[in-house]
Amino acid sequence: MIKERYLNIFILALFVLIPAYALVVDEPFTITLMTRAAIFALAALGLNIALGYGGLVSFGHAVFFGLGGYAMGILAYHAQNYTPFMEWPFLIEGTKSMPIIWLVAVVISALAAFLIGVLSLRTSGVYFIMITLAFGQMFFFFSISWSEYGGEDGLSIYVRNGFPGLNTLDPIQFYTICFVILSVGLFFVHRLAQSPFGLALNAARQTPQRVVTVGLDPTRIKLIAFVISGAITGLAGALFADLNRFVSPSMFSWQLSGEIIIFIIIGGVGRLFGPVIGALVFVGLEHFLGGLSEFWHIYLGLLLLSIVLFGKGGVIGILAGREVKHG
Amino acid sequence: MVDAILSTRNITKSFGALKASDDVSINLYPGEIHAVIGPNGAGKSTLIAQICGTLKPDMGDVELLGRTITHDGPQQRAQMGLGRTFQISQLAMEDSVLQNVVLGALGASQKPWRFFQKALSDYALLSTAEDALKRVGLEDMQHMQTSELSHGQRRQLEVAIALTLRPEAFIMDEPMAGLGAEGSKRLTGFLDELRNEAPILLVEHDMDAVFALADRISVLVYGKVIASGTVDEIRSDKRVKEAYLGDAE
């Protein structure tokens, strides 16, 4: 068994060394693949707060991924057309500035997560899964019908948005932005899991009745976790849209919600680096097996099946064993 | 006469045709252990649920320190000073023993909205938690995972969590259940002292413990209090013998 910490450091090293190697041998496509992995990892890192730590199996996290994507798409669309987003009661113009777009993506996703959470957390178990799925479908069909922003065809953004001091069209520079955000996110979640809030959330997952008995509200704790979770996944959505310079309703699709769950299950539910490993494995399979066969999902299914049947802790569980608590 | 810390006033609760609580009035006075006994199905658990707020009585009120708390939820009642232990342990089994008690300290502090500092480096939380563990004798096991504890140790942990809340009254649902003779004796000694800190409403099947500890006993049969008094009064009460002790002996 490898110590989980060493495994985590190894994974982080891969995220540094692979793009560095690709840069040296001049393979920008590999850098783009790693960017994709980093962004998916961030999306799943967000979901892992709800699913792994809070026990909330959200089958609708594509809502936040899509909202982040459309926040970018809509703001950049207005900026490239020189039309304001709205004129009344306030004048809001489009923007091509990444930091502003990120802020908008995070705030909108957090608000949506709050509203969805308030309604969904009245249920639990299968009903929670279904209600979050229903919200996902609502956003999906709404985006299809919103013809002003491309409807089914989506929105193309011609030039990647800007970040002060960087050339974001250079793959390695855009990758660096994504990797730094992922690292900050990992550090934040690492601290969150050990914080008083994390302790209460952990207990609320295992025994809500105990949390009530010490005078805390487990539903409110789960709600805040859901909001933080949605905000992080929303930020990933904004980055994903910028990677592709394109947003479409598929960012809201239930398939995407399912894929984010799959990342976590492959990597390890409730483990800090579970989402990162899962996203890396997924993007790797998608690239290598996808090159061999159109039906590469069959192999993904086999992998998922064997992990669920034989190694419940995901890749981290298999390599590093059950989590050791240092109470 | 001293005011009661906790009282139920004529509470009644029916499930269909079954009266689970029938006009139950029980007082818990400072410094006492008040035991509630009764055969299976007498309505003891229903009574506890109404006192702790997970069930609402159809009629009647629950009062804590003179305030009516009938309409407050279990979480508010915990904040107001009801410390509860469960018949079936409610613990975060995947967490360490210490983390479970720190959760209690966190509830007592009412400051769970801290996202960035380490809970187990917080001096105030830790000292409250470690004090409570020491008092129940679990301090050597604080780093064990809770699922590794024996049944009796889990009961002790339940009590430790209740201690962190510094409650005005303890509600204990069969704390002796499943404890060996030795563990039962230790807990009896501990509760004997604890009553000076806050009175205890004790629902218990272990008659030796009840007779050793209780200042007063109320006997519940079919949702009704059929007798209430000191240990000697209850022992010699004819109705109690018929309804309950007679069956047992």
Amino acid identity of residue B174, one-letter, is E
Render pLDDT for A263-298 as a digit per residue (tens, 0 to 9): 999 999 999 999 999 999 999 999 999 888 888 999
What is the value of pTM for the model shown? 0.94
Report CB contact under 8 Å: A200, B92. Answer: no
Are B118 and A326 contacting, i.e. CB atoms less than 8 angstroms apart?
no
Render pLDDT for A31-59 as a digit per residue (tens, 0 to 9): 999 999 999 999 999 999 999 999 999 99
| pLDDT for A88 | 81
Burial string for A266-282 (b: 16+ CB within 10 Å, else e) reads bbbbbbbbbbbbbbbbb
What residues of chain A lie within 8 A of the CB of B107, using their CB?
211, 213-216
| pLDDT for B240 | 82
Nearest to B90 among A192, A213, A224 (CB): A213
| pLDDT for A124 | 92
Report CB contact under 8 Å: A327, B164. Answer: no
Mean pLDDT of B154-161: 94
Nearest to A215 among B75, B120, B142 (CB): B75
Q: What stretches of B29-97 adopt beta strand conformation (E)?
A: 33-37, 59-64, 67-68, 82-85
Tell me the nearest-neighbour CA distance from A118 into chain B, angstroms: 18
- How far apart, in whole angstroms, are the C-alpha atoms of residue B174 and residue B84? 11
Q: Is B101 on the interface with A (CB under 8 A)?
A: no
- How far apart, in whole angstroms, are the C-alpha atoms of residue B129 and residue A319? 34
Tell me the nearest-neighbour CA distance from A166 into chain B, angstroms: 30
Report CB contact under 8 Å: A203, B98. Answer: no
ipTM for this prediction: 0.92
- How far apart, in whole angstroms, are the C-alpha atoms of residue A41 and residue B13? 52
Mutation for testing the B interface, residue in A184, A194, A210 having most B CBs under 10 Å: A210
Q: Which helix (H) or strand (E) holds B199?
A: none
Report CB contact under 8 Å: B104, A217. Answer: no
Mutation for testing the A interface, residue in B55, B116, B157 having most A CBs under 10 Å: B116
Render pLDDT for B198-246 as a digit per residue (tens, 0 to 9): 999 999 888 888 999 999 999 999 999 999 999 999 988 888 887 765 5
Mean pLDDT of B39-53: 92
Q: Is B128 on the interface with A (CB under 8 A)?
A: no
Mutation for testing the B interface, residue in A199, A312, A323 having most B CBs under 10 Å: A199
- How far apart, in whole angstroms, are the C-alpha atoms of residue B95 and residue B207? 34
- How far apart, in whole angstroms, are the C-alpha atoms of residue B66 and residue B47? 19
Exposed / middle / buried, residue B17 (Cβ in 10 Å: 0-12, 13-18, 19+)? exposed
Are A68 and A306 contacting, i.e. CB atoms less than 8 angstroms apart?
no
Tell me the nearest-neighbour CA distance from B200 into chain A, angstroms: 16
Render pLDDT for B119-134 as a digit per residue (tens, 0 to 9): 999 999 999 999 999 9
